[in-house]
Structures are given as structure tokens and as C-alpha cells.
Chains A and B, each alone.
Chain A
Amino acid sequence: GAVVSQHPSWVICKSGTSVKIECRSLDFQATTMFWYRQFPKQSLMLMATSNEGSKATYEQGVEKDKFLINHASLTLSTLTVTSAHPEDSSFYICSARDGRRVAAYEQYFGPGTRLTVT
């Protein structure tokens, strides 16, 4: 149980275009989802936290107009990188938490999406 999927697993896009990454909880309802970014040989950095049906909370330094997050349902969150540039190339990982479970501290991670902007 507690499986999180991401789509696509990798994507290459041209500079200036937008790309959408999907994060789905397959067998539980994710009341909270998190988006992380990981540059090569670095740690995971939290970008934003989204609760179902409300606006995402962005970490300091993350441009909310560039990284659009939508958490419209209990099983789906999307991250859209708008007007992508080469410096946005990174590994994007989502995680999901079921706040209604006793073990609310558990975060279940997706497999990640590798974005390359050319």
C-alpha cells in the first residue's frame, strides 16, 4: 500500500516552454502533498506544501508564479514549471501524506521526474 506515482518519469523541453508534472496517490487519499527539487549531488529541498483544496505554501526563495502547484483532488497534485529555463533542470520529487491516518508523519515518495531544459 501507500504508493505514489509520478508522470512523466523524465521530460526534455525547450527553454521558454512550460511543463507539467503529475503526482498521484494510488491507494490512499493524500490530504497533503509536498514537492521537492534535487539538483545533482545535492539534497532534497522542499519547494512547497499543498493541502487538498487550498493554495500551496511555498518555501522561501521559490517563485510561486513560476512553479504552479494545483492540488485539486485527494489523489492528484500537479507541478507546472512555467517558462522553463536550463537552470530549472533538476530532479523533481513529490511525496504525499494521509493526514487522516494515525501515522500522519509518514510521507510516501514518488519515483521522481527528471526535467531537462535545453
Chain B
Amino acid sequence: AQKVTQAQTEISVVEKEDVTLDCVYETRDTTYYLFWYKQPPSGELVFLIRRNSFDEQNEISGRYSWNFQKSTSSFNFTITASQVVDSAVYFCALSGGVQGAQKLVFGQGTRLTINP
């Protein structure tokens, strides 16, 4: 069975602080895909990143960065110099099998609040 755990239910920081959202996953598949989505108050999911199980390179996109470590089954997300607009619920998700053919399994989400 596949499982995604986001242990941090809520995080609140002051603007400009760095914040890391944790994600730990479980899967028996050798090929799988990991995702991060942002869900602002409007409700619409915003795709942030996808990583496949064979690519452990960390990625940076502007203020966002992701650390993928297969040894610890983690795919953590860091926002540097946080801004109020980053306030949202963030979901980590996992899709297993070849070409991610299996269903997408979501973590419980982390509600991030950035205070001015």
C-alpha cells in the first residue's frame, strides 16, 4: 500500500522567514512519482513540482526548493524568504507504477500561514 505522511498539520511563520514542509512516503514500487500541490483559499489545486523515483537531484525554482532523499523516503519542500501570498494548504502526493499508472495518494496537507 502507498502512503504519504505530512506530520505538520499547521505552520505559522512571520514573513521573510524560511519554512520547510516535510513529506514522508511509503511505497513498494521501484518506479514512482512524487508531487507537491498548493491549494489556496479558492480551492483550486496548483501544481508545483513532480519528481520521479530515479531523479534524486534537488530542485530550485525561485524561492522554492525541494529535497528528495530516497534513503529516508522523504520529499521536503522549502520556501525561502516567505511571503504572505505563500499562505495556503500544501499537499504532497505519490503516484506509483510505470508512468504513475496507479492512483494519486495525497498526504493530509500542511496549512501554512505567513504573517505580515
Contacts and interface: CB of A to CB of B under 8 A. Distances in A.
Interface string A22-56: 00000000000010000001111110010000000
A114 B43 contact: yes
Interface residues of B, number: 21
A109 interface: yes
A105 B95 contact: yes
A49 B105 CA distance: 13
Contacts, number: 49
A92 to B, nearest CB: 10
A109 B100 contact: no
Contacts of A107: 95, 104
Given A43-B107, A49-B103, A105 B43 contact: no
B103 A109 contact: no
Contacts of A62: none
B91 interface: yes
A107 B100 CA distance: 10
A43 to B, nearest CB: 5
B101 A105 contact: yes
Contacts of A46: 103-105
Contacts of A42: 108-109
Contact of B91 (A41, A43, A103): A43
A43 B99 CA distance: 24
A43 B43 contact: no
7 contacts: A43-B91, A43-B108, A46-B103, A46-B104, A104-B99, A107-B95, A109-B37
The 8 closest A-B pairs by CB, nearest first: A105-B100, A104-B99, A111-B44, A109-B45, A112-B43, A43-B106, A44-B106, A43-B108
